[in-house]
Amino acid sequence: MGRVRTAAFEDQRGLILAQAARLFARNGYTATSMNEVAAASGVSKPTLYHYVQDKHELLLCVAEFHIARLQALVDEVQALGLPPRERLVQLVQRFVAAYAEARNEHRVLTEDVKFLGDEARARVVAGQRRVVAVFADTLVQMRPDLSGSALAKPLTMLLFGMMNWMFTWLRPEGAIRCDSMAEVVTELFLGGLGSVQVPATTTTSSRSTPPKKETCS
Amino acid sequence: MGRVRTAAFEDQRGLILAQAARLFARNGYTATSMNEVAAASGVSKPTLYHYVQDKHELLLCVAEFHIARLQALVDEVQALGLPPRERLVQLVQRFVAAYAEARNEHRVLTEDVKFLGDEARARVVAGQRRVVAVFADTLVQMRPDLSGSALAKPLTMLLFGMMNWMFTWLRPEGAIRCDSMAEVVTELFLGGLGSVQVPATTTTSSRSTPPKKETCS
DNA sequence: CCTACCGATCGGTAGG
DNA sequence: CCTACCGATCGGTAGG
């Protein structure tokens, strides 16, 4: 049947991807050499190239495995059939936990995507967009007046900003636990959501705004 | 008489720093060559090295000029003598505007600091910490029960997360104006701040915790 | 799986 | 001696 090496091959490949994610996260994609990835994985450089085609594929695999994990998370939560508010609580809680567990991969996803080629980057961005859309839809269900306004996606991105930025300053060994931070994020965001004013004019703004460049002050 | 070259020298140097910031922001520090910086600045590489000592100094100057701008902003707002809530509104509004105006420099500051040497990075991080401290102090003045809790700095970092992350998805040519986003951030954060629960047990943890605190970078 | 290499390009500097 | 540059190339190292 299948080649005997497959299981061990995938194990070794997984270890290489994890080590690559660690090095990319710490030193950046460009500043990380394939020699370093090989050494950290306990193999020679030619052996490394037996498991991955090239440096870009290494980056793409790290990013896509992480995106796939996040999409699975979204599917799980949607399968629970919760009302929107409870669904958002679950989403935040599980995303923060997933980010914490895959800290290196998450950093690579948020910082090194620009080093992918155009098609590869487009795939990754499309995956991210699908995840963001679920959050945005949930927000609209919680506040129907957001529907049609231009605010649903920006609000979603502010929420992602809190979660994503968290892992630039929250140390895993620190006194603050990730799950307690997830609670704070939830309280802050859900508590503040009702205070955000939806401008009545924003609904028609998609028609009235010309493609004229609006420089941010 | 004073050196005639000084004014022109500083102008040229400023242009080089701006071009370096643009290239670093777009392609990353490591992936940007000194040849590209030189070409973008309209000078030869030897001439580039007449204006900067080396590549690391280029990165350090971009980061420090931006930090200095932010510290000046903080000083301006503090000089207004506003009550804490209005002070925070002003801080958010001006920081978002400053980030928008110095978009490239801001991206360099948040993504490429790791490529600085130890001493240089320590200087930059110290500057960031001073800025963060003003935000955190203002939060504590708004909610005195945050004093002594471990939540003031994390909450501040959530606020910075919304602002910092904003410039990864908000396009300058887009329909959404930066100042209107500053309003949304303010409404969301101030509206949600009252909903955040301060755990009673956390109060004593700040005294019992040794220097093992989170480094808010 | 290793040693040994390649085309190219890196950051930085020589002489003029 | 200084400055402000240029064309050319240095020693090392990148991905492969």
Q: Above 80 in pLDDT, residue B3?
A: no
Contact (CB<8Å) B158/A188: yes
Specify the residue for token string 């490529």. B115
Q: At B167, is the pLDDT very low, low, confident or very high (cuts 50, 70, 90)? A: very high
In sequence order, the 6+-apart residues with CB closer than 8 A to the CB of B103 are B25, B167, B172
Q: Above 80 in pLDDT, residue B212?
A: no
Contact (CB<8Å) B205/A115: no
Phi, psi of B190 (to 5 degrees): -65, -35
Protein-contacted positions of strand C (CB under 7 Å): 1-4, 9-15
Separation CA B76–CA B90 (nearest Å): 10
Q: Above 70 in pLDDT, residue A134?
A: yes
Q: At A161, is the pLDDT very low, low, confident or very high (cuts 50, 70, 90)? A: very high
- DSSP 8-state symbol, A53: S
Q: What pLDDT, on a 0 to 100 scale, did the predictor assign at position A200?
A: 67
The pTM (predicted TM-score) of the whole model is 0.90
* Any A CB within 8 A of B197 CB: yes
3-state secondary structure A130-181: HHHHHHHHHHHHHCHHHCCCCCHHHHHHHHHHHHHHHHHHCCCCCCCCHHHH
Separation CA A5–CA A11 (nearest Å): 10
Spacing of B45 CA from D10 C1' in Å: 14
User: CB-side exposure of B60: number of CA atoms within 13 Å?
Assistant: 14
Q: What pLDDT, on a 0 to 100 scale, did the predictor assign at position A10?
A: 81
Contact (CB<8Å) A216/B161: no
* Any A CB within 8 A of B151 CB: yes
Of B165, B194, B213, the CB nearest to A157: B165
Contact (CB<8Å) A213/B173: yes
Q: What pLDDT, on a 0 to 100 scale, did the predictor assign at position B204?
A: 42
Q: What pLDDT, on a 0 to 100 scale, did the predictor assign at position B199?
A: 79
DSSP strands (E only) in B27-150? none
Minimal C-alpha gap between B30 and chain A (Å): 6
- Which residues of chain B have a CB within 8 Å of the CB of A189? 188, 192
Among A200-204, B63-67, B84-88, where is mean pLDDT lowest?
A: A200-204
pLDDT (tens digit per residue) in A94-117: 999 999 999 999 999 999 999 998
Among A184-188, B143-147, B156-160, where is mean pLDDT lowest?
A: B143-147
